[in-house]
Structure 1
Amino acid sequence: MRRPVSRWTVLTVLCLSLLIVALDATVLHVAVPALTEDLRPGDQQLLWIVDAYPLVAASLLILFGTLGDRIGRRRVLLTGYALFGAASALAAFAPDAHVLIGARALLGAGGAMIMPATLSILRQDFPDRRERAMAIGLWSAVAAVGAAVGPVLGGFLVEHFWWGSVFLVNLPLMAVLLPAWPLLPESRSDAEGPWDLPGAAAAALGVLGCVFGIKRLGGGTPPAAGSVWLPLLAGAALLVFFVRRQRRRAHPLIDVRMFGNAAFSAAVGCIVLAMLALVGLELIAVQYLQLVLGLSPLRTGLRLLPLTFAAMAAGLAGSRMLLRLGPRRMVAAGFTLTALAVLGLTAMGQHDRPWLLTTAFVLLGFGLETTLFGAYETMLNETPAHRAGGAAAIGETSYQLGAGMGIALLGSVMNAAYAPHATGISPRDSAAAGRSLGEAYDIAERLGGAPGSALRHAARHSFVQGMHVTLLVSAALLVGGACAALRLPRVMECEAAGAGAVAKAAAQTVRPASDPARHRTATVAVRSGRAGD
């Protein structure tokens, strides 16, 4: 008989798994100039090198999340490890852009296997809600660490080795994780009936079409209408087909009736709104720091570190905050704090104000992580354990969709508001300068003299004004998120000791019981850290 393994040991393995995915999501950014010089990709190829990973990962989350529920979450996670390792080696030694694009797509498939599996195993192995909240806090803190370390580690490797070395950092972690597979518990859904392959394919292609169309809509140059609306409409039609098919099936991949649960649907909506409001700001912040304030890439990364450290702190303190405040107040407070931080950033102009910037980033990181923590924890808690893989996939897909929509929406607002005008500039140069601040600087350098100086000043001024408008739109979205959080539960309900023991015993079985409600027979409402009557 298999010897039981500590849940915290399992959590360590899951966090290392997440660290790989989080690192790979950001480590490539600093290597793009070096690989561009070496492989000489075209504009479209470079776009696919960057976007292949998130596009494929987002489209396959539902497919692999629900597959794990059926055939075993550990099995899918181990397959993701193997695919991620092989794709990393292929990407590191890619001889041309086409091979690198294919390797990045395989990395996305591996990430889509790993991400929902880690959350669903965590949901299964931590039946007690207080322990699960602490585990989610550690899980999310590791994600913040990976996102922060990625660019720094990538910059060091590119400086001392070659661009392919940024992918090889995955291999030592894989060497640690693969031998640790016996430590992970196996679990699967007890649902009968065959796995719905047509439904899974429709969900994958539908999400792919929507995310691709949204990304094209948020691109720097105006895309052809067909390249935006055709994939968007096709993706939306496939998702409608998927939902209708799941409603008719006796054993659906995802029980869409979960969205009838106000707390579950509100938590998913909060994840979308948080990412919708904030992801586009990251791109604008990097441009502001480098092009307006004139900071180097290294100093830009250092300026963003307080945001990451604040997010880590919020993740580690999340379980205690959730216990004291409850989901509704915690998520609403996180949205409100983030909105205040975004409004504070509107005081930034063409001159550096480091203390204001650092304070705003700290508040923004803490508020954002507080919001996402409360939303993810509530979403998982409102999901039956045997549906954990599908719920985790919904959460991660909502994250990706919100991120894509945020880049498209806020990028469009920024592009509309940014319109530099300077005297003595030809209409052709003026139109080119209106595409981006970087292009305006290139044109200003080419023109030189008074016209170049005037264009540079006008472009900086217009960019800052456009940034302020974008920040106000983002703050309005965050206020909308705070309103949506009012549909979340007011208090955190935790299982009493007797019910927790039953749930713990059930969690150790290979197939969890089909009726998770019987494990919730005794609950106690926790207010301000104390049991209520």
Structure 2
Amino acid sequence: MVRKPLVLLTVCLATLTINIGTMVVNVALPSMADQLDASTKDLLWIVDGYNLAFAALVLAMGSLSDRFGRRPALVIGLAGFAASSAAAALADGSAALIAARVVMGVFAALIFPTTLSIISNTFTGRRERASAIGLWGASSGVGVAVGPVMGGFLLAHYSWHSIFWALVPIAVVALGLTLAFVPESRDPDVPRIDRPGFVVSVAALAVLTWTIIEAPGRGWGSAETLTGFGVAAVLILVFIQIERAVRNPMIDVTLFLDRRFSAACAAVTIAFFALFGFIFLITQFFQFVREYTPLETGLRFLPVAFSIAASSVIGSQLAPRLGTRAIVAPGMALMGAAFLWISTVPVGVTYATVVIPQMILLGTGIGLVTAPATESIMRVLPPARAGVGSAVNDATRELGGTLGVAVVGALFSSQYADRLIELIGQHLYPATAAKASESVGYAHAVAAQAPALRDLVDTAFLDGFNLACVTVGVICLVGAAAAWFALPADRYDPLADETAQAHDAQLTARH
């Protein structure tokens, strides 16, 4: 007998493990910059090495879990995540840490679509499935809270290595619960992996991310940067052609003709683009500009985390009754308003009266977007193909997160570097000024020896911070308008669950 509450608890803990692994590293970035002598570009890769592997592999991993079994996929994923977390804890340099983070991303890509696939196969009615997905989405919000707080506590007592050691027992507990409570399920009719599509999709995302992260140093208009964007665009077009031509594509691109699917994917992508970019920047703002300790920084993430968790549950309950569009579009508008407000913060901003309301506004918007949009994506495919649907949903999350860190980090890095050279270039040796422009941590270390430079360094930081926030805010507002026109107003009668299941059967025949 399947004990649904225990199955849900297990997959939520597995999801929480991944989200802690994603978020815990951000609060440790300043410590890594100091102890590893890491540049801003190194920090971007420490974050995005994980995100890149996750986003690149999640589609293929979703199909594998459908075909060979969701329970063994979750077991292998959690065991590998624990082992690679231990490897990250043992790293003694930026390159080794980036490599370990990439491996962590590989196993996270196996875990994440499997959890959502298990939910879709365990909770078959739309009403109970929407509630389960809401709680699953809330676990992401809890991860946003637990990751920074746990990381801050550990960094207050130990080195940055401890944040990765702490992930090991959490993954092991989730592994034990999986073996005890998760039933086996699979779809034997899932075809083999589309190898050409897989290779091209990985190459396209890798080239795009690499180009964005390297652009500040090479120049946005340089031949290398323009070539990188051109190669990425060509690879994306080739991927689309491959998927349309092969008998068993990695993803059926015709799914994007369904507005519930394509518009919801775009909404999730933008939401995680905003969230990951925000966390990357605000962590450094708190620790470098405001000089909070890692633990103080982690605790200050609680408002955004709890608001994501609460609004995920609320949004998943309201969307079936009011329609996906009526929840997602206002949620994106809240995100845009929050970022434009955040872009105005000064160095001495008051946390209690300004930053907390900003975080609540942002977190509420993210939660209202992600859970209803995820449920919309999952409704397009039948439960037997839930791995594909969950993989697409997870791919949009990680693609958004990867590009969020890359784009926001690159915009910040470019503006910060130019402004810093302008402000303090004449006060320092050229080599010192150049290194300070590449690393915020090094710039503040220099300013600590020359207090007169501190205000100039903070000014350069806020110039980059504000530009990045305004950019993300505008993207969110444009996304809100697009969501309002593209998403369907698919209200749901709670008493007509049978009708929804019949509709799923029709979709099964169509796809």
TM-score by structure 1 length? 0.82
Q: CA deviation at 1:366?
A: 0.9
Is 1:141–2:138 an aligned residue pair?
A: yes
Contact 2:443 2:457 in 1 (8 A): yes
Residues 413-465 of structure 1 show CA distances to partners (whole Å, capped at 9, x for unaligned) of 4445542555863684766665565555444445x4xxx62x43344344434
Q: Alignment partner for residue 351 of structure 1, among 348, 352, 372? A: 348
Q: 1:210 aligns with which of 208, 211, 216?
A: 208
1:291 to 288, 293, 311: 288
* Bigger relative CO (Cα 8 Å, ≥ 6 apart): 2
More displaced 10-residue stretch of structure 1: 126-135 or 166-175: 166-175
Deviation at 1:387, TM superposition (A): 3.0
Query: How far apart are residue 260 of structure 1 and its match?
Result: 0.9
Distance 1:44 1:422 in 2: 21
> Residues 218-245 of structure 1, C-alpha deviation per residue, up to 9 Å, x if partnerless?
x678599576556554444444333222
Residue 15 of structure 1: aligned partner: 12
Moved more, 287-296 or 129-138: 287-296
Q: For residue 427 of structure 2, what is the aligned residue in structure 1?
A: 425
Pairwise CA distance, 1:93:
4.1
Q: Answer yes or no: is 1:122 the counterpart of 2:114.
A: no
Query: Which position in structure 2 is the counterpart of 1:112?
Result: 109
Count the aligned residue pairs.
502
Query: What is the TM-score normalised by the length of structure 2?
Result: 0.85
Contact 1:327–1:488 (Cα < 8 Å) also in 2: yes
SS of 2:301's equivalent in the other structure is helix
Alignment-derived partner of residue 528 in structure 1: none
C-alpha RMSD over aligned residues: 3.6
Instruction: Give the whole-Å Cα distance in 2 for the aligned partners of 1:121 and 1:148.
Output: 25
Q: Following TM superposition, by how much is the alpha carbon of 1:110 offset from its aligned partner in structure 2, in angstroms?
A: 1.0
Q: 378-387 or 171-180: which moved more?
A: 171-180
In the other structure, the counterpart of 1:386 is 384
Superposed, 1:485-524 pairs within 5 Å as 485-486=483-484, 487-493=486-492, 496-499=496-499, 516=508
- The partner residue of 1:366 within 352, 359, 364 is 364
Query: 2:468 is matched with which residue?
Result: 470
45-54 or 480-489, which moves further after superposition? 45-54
Q: 1:393 to 1:444 in 2, by over 3 A?
A: same
Residues of 2 paired with 1:91 and 1:412: CA distance?
25
Give the direction of change, closer, same or farther, for the CA distance of 1:357–1:32 in structure 2 (3 Å limit): closer
Distance, in Å, in 2 between the alignment partners of 1:485 and 1:162 is 44
How far did residue 99 of structure 1 move? 5.5
Amino acid at match of 2:489: R
1:305 paired residue number: 302
* Contact 1:327/1:491 (8 A) holds in 2: yes
**Separation (CA, whole Å) in 1 of partners of 2:39 and 2:466:** 33
SS at match of 2:154: helix
Q: Which residue of 1 aligns with 2:479?
A: 481
Instruction: Give distance in 2, aligned partners of 1:277 and 1:88.
Output: 26
Structure 2 counterparts to residues 24-423 of structure 1, below 5 A: 24-30=21-27, 49-94=46-91, 100-160=97-157, 163-179=160-176, 180-181=178-179, 183-189=181-187, 191=189, 193-217=191-215, 228=225, 232-354=229-351, 355-415=353-413, 417-418=415-416, 419-420=419-420, 421-422=422-423
Gaps of 5+ in 2: none
Aligned to 1:531: none
Q: Residue 280 of structure 2: SS of its match in structure 1? A: helix
- Secondary structure in structure 2 of the residue aligned to 1:315: helix
The answer to whether the 8 A contact 2:39-2:438 is kept is no
Q: 2:133 and 2:252 mapped to 1: Cα distance? A: 23
Q: Percent identity?
A: 34
Which residue identity lines up with residue 368 of structure 2 in the other structure? T
CA contact (8 A) 1:274 1:481 kept: no
**SS in structure 1 at match of 2:323:** helix
In the aligned structure 1, how far is the partner of 2:457 from the partner of 2:92?
39
CA, structure 1 residues 12+445, in 2 after alignment: closer, same or farther (shift >3 Å)? Answer: closer
Which amino acid counterpart does residue 154 of structure 2 have in structure 1? L
Query: Which of structures 1 and 2 has the bigger CA Rg?
Result: 1
Instruction: Indicate conservation of the 8 Å contact 2:304/2:362, yes or no.
Output: yes
| Deviation of the 1:121 alpha carbon | 1.7
- Between Structure 1 and Structure 2, the one with more helix by share is 2
How far does the alpha carbon of each residue in 1:87-138 deviate from its partner, in whole angstroms, 9 at most, with x for none?
Answer: 2344444577666554433222111100111112212222212211211111
Unpaired stretches in structure 1, ≥5 consecutive residues: 507-512, 520-533
Give the conservation status (yes or no) of the 8 Å contact 1:386–1:514: no
Does the 8 Å CA contact 2:27/2:297 hold for their aligned counterparts? no
Distance 1:54 1:301 in 2: 21
**2-side partners of 1:440 and 1:345: how far apart?**
23
Conserved 8 A contact 1:266-1:485? yes
Partner amino acid for 1:181? L
Give the partner amino acid of 1:210: L
SS in 2 for 1:5: coil
Deviation at 1:364, TM superposition (A): 0.9
Go from structure 1 to structure 2 and tell me whether the alpha carbon gap of 1:7 and 1:228 turns closer, same or farther (over 3 Å shift). Answer: farther
Residue 492 of structure 2: SS of its match in structure 1?
A: strand
1:187 positional shift:
3.0
| Residues 353/274 of structure 1: CA separation in 2 closer, same or farther (3 Å cut) | same
Higher alpha-carbon deviation: 466-475 or 372-381: 466-475
Report if aligned partners of 1:88, 1:107 keep a CA contact under 8 Å in 2: yes
Q: Which amino acid aligns with 1:272?
A: T
The Cα shift of 1:17 comes to: 1.0
Mean Cα displacement is larger for which, 131-140 or 396-405?
Answer: 396-405
Q: Alignment partner of 1:290: what SS?
A: helix
AA aligned to 1:328 is R
1:203 is matched by which residue type in structure 2? Answer: S
Q: 1:137 to 1:164 in 2, by over 3 A?
A: same
Secondary structure of 1:252's match?
Answer: coil
